[in-house]
Amino acid sequence: MKSFQIPDFYRSPLISAIKSARKNADKMKKDFTPTRLDFGPLEIFLARHFGFCYGVENAIEIAFRTVDENPGKRIFLLSEMIHNPQVNADLQKNGVSFIMDTKGRILTPWEELNADDIVIIPAFGTTLETEQKLRQIGIDPLKYNTTCPFVEKVWNRSEQIGTKGHTIIIHGKPDHEETRATFSHSSVHAPALVIRDMQEAQLLAEYITQKKSSASFFIDFEGQYSAGFNPELHLQFIGVVNQTTMLASETQGIADYLKGVIIQQFGEAENHFADTRDTLCYATNDNQSAVQGMLSTEADLAIVIGGYNSSNTSHLVELCEKKLPTYYIENQDNINNENSIRHYDFHLNQEKNTKNFLPQSDKTRILISSGASCPDAIVEKVIQKLQGFYPNSRPVSELIEQFQ
């Protein structure tokens, strides 16, 4: 796989040594057992796969190269490059401004832009409508385009099934940048509908089987369907694609469920359901499988690191919290020296503070993973912060030597 040039301050000597050693020992990536870091009184079990994925490294390389190659020019990001506060803050320190926030609210009015400005499309991609606005200003929206290739793969697959007469069902969060972009790119080829979860898939099934009146469809799925959507006509042939950062098992479960409903309603002979399982992102799969493998290890607690608005990170938290106390943090600063931790409850959309989160025992065991947009350097800093609670623990330098 291609190597990217990303700033050294995102890298970690410890994590780089671990990832290199694991890759050399398991080139096919079939071993999902965690990496054990034995500090003595503290044991940390690090997920087999975590941190920057291909699409994130690609976006970071393009963004920083764009800054370096265009001194004196105004450079804008359409919205957050990725869902990591440090990376976005680093770009702002380098003079990059934002046009929109993650919800699509305007921060820099369109009329303030001109044809000489540079606009970087984030890793999530953008809508066709936004691309057209940029062209009208005189800005080529694809010149500095960091859209993840795996997101573009979803768009291509949507086009394929859409042009063959299938309605495109998108499993995703309706207000997420990637889902808004996928919806836009899909709906030019076929009717499109966003569903959030299995509950909405089951609700949709009632319209596929015509158990519910089509009139209530527009209330149940308000703001989630394309213009001219006709539930009586457009739910006879469907295919499911996904926001690439969703829980992979949930997307597959939804696709399998809707396929069963379609077959029961229309039979198998006329291909009423398009198989689209190849739109699941490899990094999402790997990171989630690695967390599942990590959870077989006995531990006192889990820490998951990433931006609070990171969809893929929240799903790693979701997996962990089913088994043990789990703390969702952005970086090492969330851990207080007084043995308290400030962490995010994504169910309630609020931060909490938990005191005495580290158990008072002779041996503490902690599981750690991070989202696809979290720099390895932050993971190492979290490990070092935790190590600081145990004065007699082994130094990080010894562990680096162990994996070299």
Q: For residue 26, is pLDDT > 90?
A: yes
Query: Which among 30, 91, 78 is positioned nearest to 286, based on CA atoms?
Result: 30
- Between CA 61 and CA 279 the distance in angstroms is 24
| Residue 143 counted as domain residue | no
pLDDT given for residue 3 in this prediction: 82
Mean pLDDT over each residue of the chain, to the nearest integer: 95
Q: Give the pLDDT band (50/70/90) at residue 1.
A: low
DSSP symbol at 277? G
Domain CATH number, residue 235: 3.40.1010.20
- Between CA 190 and CA 163 the distance in angstroms is 7
Rg over CA atoms, the chain: 23
Domain boundary among 240, 258, 279: 279
Question: Known catalytic residues?
Answer: 178
Domain CATH number, residue 125: 3.40.50.11270
Q: What is the mean pLDDT of residues 189-212?
A: 97
pTM: 0.93
Domain boundary among 88, 112, 137: 137
- Between CA 363 and CA 42 the distance in angstroms is 6
- Between CA 139 and CA 121 the distance in angstroms is 12
Cα separations (Å) of 10 from 26, 77, 301?
A: 24, 20, 26
For the stretch 121-153, pLDDT in tens is 999 999 999 999 999 999 999 999 999 999 999
- Its domain, for residue 91, covers 54-137
Q: Are residues 163 and 209 in the same domain?
A: yes
Q: For residue 318, is pLDDT > 70?
A: yes
Q: Are residues 387 and 309 in the same domain?
A: yes
Q: For residue 268, is pLDDT > 80?
A: no
